[in-house]
Amino acid sequence: MLKYLGSSPEEKKPKASGKPASSAGEDSKSPAANPPTVSPGGETPEEQVQVLQQKIEALERRIGYLERIVKLSQILNSTLHLEPLLQIIIQSATELTDTEACSIMLLDKNTGELRFAAATGDRDNVLKKMLVPLDNSIAGWVIRKNRPLLIRDARKDPRWHSGVDESTDFQTRSLLGVPLKLRDKTIGVMELVNKKGDAGFNEDDIQIATTLSAQAAIAIENARLLDELQQAYRDLSEIERLKNDFVSIASHELRTPLAVILGYATFLRDNLKGKASEQLDVVLSSAMRLRALIDDMVNLRHIQTGDLQLQRSIFSLKALILEAVEEFSELASGKQQTLTTRFIPPNDPLNIDADRQRIYLVLANLLSNAIKFTPEKGRIHVQAELKGHRYWVSVIDTGIGIPKSEYERIFNQFYQVEPPLTRRYQGMGIGLSIAKGMVEEHQGRIWVESVVNKGSKFTFVLPTGPDVADKT
């Protein structure tokens, strides 16, 4: 008896004394209301009652099956582990159809053979190692014809594959095979073997097996999807690990020779005059760009791995902004852009408790973007304002602008509005994701507002920091 499915159909049988639950009393044709001597079919009232009782019993048996199938689907929905699910299905199938054994075979797309996914009792382990060919097997026939097959004596059937019985010391007699259908595909077969008693398999058995095989197909598909998803997660974290390792190794290995290049180039430029000194300027600025890229990669990694340790101190945000603007002024004047600042309140140092180097990086990323994405003779304006316990810092440009649909995405790593192959601007697409990571690490916020072909305004808001007022 099924432990987990509640009462069996036998328990639902009506009591011997129970009256038929029809509309007795109201129905003018009911034997009690209008007792006929002989029915049109020639049965006596007693025979009619007996026929009705048999029909009721059959209906009650069906209701019993359905109740158990509903309970079964509740159990199946509660777990995604394939092995126990298939075991529950085959056990239910043997009990509901009153058979000796049941198995589920799945089609291996690569070899075109059938593999056992589950079978009743001890045979499970042995069968799982066996393969059943599609040709000359009943299971193969069911798959190819995509319909149930009912056989009284399998051993006399030319399609029967005797290999399984031979290796498991089992004797197959009657057999019912139903296809395992998933949408428009047949993925396997469920076989019920040896109906108990003499009656053989019937329509009810086909229906039960078909319903259960549909459940099995869904369970198998869900488990496969779960498996794929878990594999994808594993692959993703492996790629993430490899990327992090690569970034650490590459940045470490690149930094040392780069420091040597920067050192020698600076020394030579300071000691050489004329054309050579100009050429060394180019070497220096390229080397510095390379160093900035490496720093970006390292910072991004720290943000991702959550080991960004803020080095807090109290400093003037105004002085930091002026320092950044000074650093980028040469780049801006190269494009004949004007670079202006405004501070509110004007005579306040705008002290802040934060990581100076990291906030400088935010400003540097926003400023370099503003200069890069603004055409010649454009304007760039930086303003900082104290509002309550927060600083609002905006970098405003008159550049190419950003469509509203991209406002969020530009803060994602490696995302650039222009497609990579036709890009006109340099960059790796990580500056804004670093800026966002740094700002958020300070419990701040960063966002953009923009009008395409008119310009963009990047704003970040930072708390002044816990003890600014006391320590200054």
Q: Which residues bind ligand ADP (CB under 6 A)?
A: 365, 369-370, 373, 397, 399-400, 402, 410, 415-418, 427-433, 456
Query: With contact defined as beta carbons under 8 Å apart, do 443 and 429 qualify?
Result: no
Give the shortest CB-282-to-ligand ADP separation in angstroms.
21
Question: Which of 147, 145, 117 shows the shortest CA–CA distance to 131?
Answer: 117
In the complex, minimum distance from the CB of residue 247 to ligand ADP, in angstroms, rounded to a whole number: 16
Q: Which is nearer to ligand ADP, 153 or 418 (CB)?
A: 418
Q: How far is the CB of 334 from ligand ADP (least distance, A)?
A: 17
User: Rounded distance, CA 171 to CA 321, Å?
Assistant: 87
Nearer to ligand ADP, 170 or 458 (CB): 458
Q: Can you give the three-state secondary structure of 241-278, one letter per residue?
A: HHHHHHHHHHHHHHHHHHHHHHHHHHHHHHHCCCHHHH
- Across 15-42, b (16+ Cβ under 10 Å) vs e yields eeeeebeeeeeeeeebbeeeeeeeeeee
Nearer to ligand ADP, 263 or 334 (CB): 334
- Which residue's Cβ has the minimum distance to ligand ADP? 427
Does residue 418 contact residue 377 with C-beta atoms inside 8 Å? Answer: no
Smallest separation, CB 457 to ligand ADP (Å): 9
**In the complex, minimum distance from the CB of residue 218 to ligand ADP, in angstroms, rounded to a whole number:** 44
Give the Cα separation of 42 and 159 in Å (integer).
45
- Residue with smaller CB distance to ligand ADP, 174 or 369: 369
Q: Helices then strands (H, E): number in the chain?
A: 11, 13
| Cβ atoms 424, 418 nearer than 8 A | yes
Give me Rg for the CA atoms of the chain. 39
State in angstroms the smallest separation of the CB of 440 from ligand ADP. Answer: 15
Complex with ligand ADP: residue 90 or 448, whichever CB lies closer: 448
Sign of CA dihedral 86, 88, 92, 98: positive
Q: Whose Cβ is closer to ligand ADP: residue 321's or residue 402's?
A: 402
Shortest Å distance, C-beta 237 to ligand ADP: 24
- Closest CB to ligand ADP among 360 and 415? 415
Give the strand pairing for 185-195 and 338-344. Answer: unpaired
Please identify, using beta-carbon distances, which residue of 297 and 370 lies nearer to ligand ADP: 370
**Shortest approach of ligand ADP to residue 363 CB, angstroms?**
13
| H or E stretch covering 392 | strand 390-397
Query: What is the number of other CB atoms lying within 10 angstroms of the CB of residue 317?
Result: 23
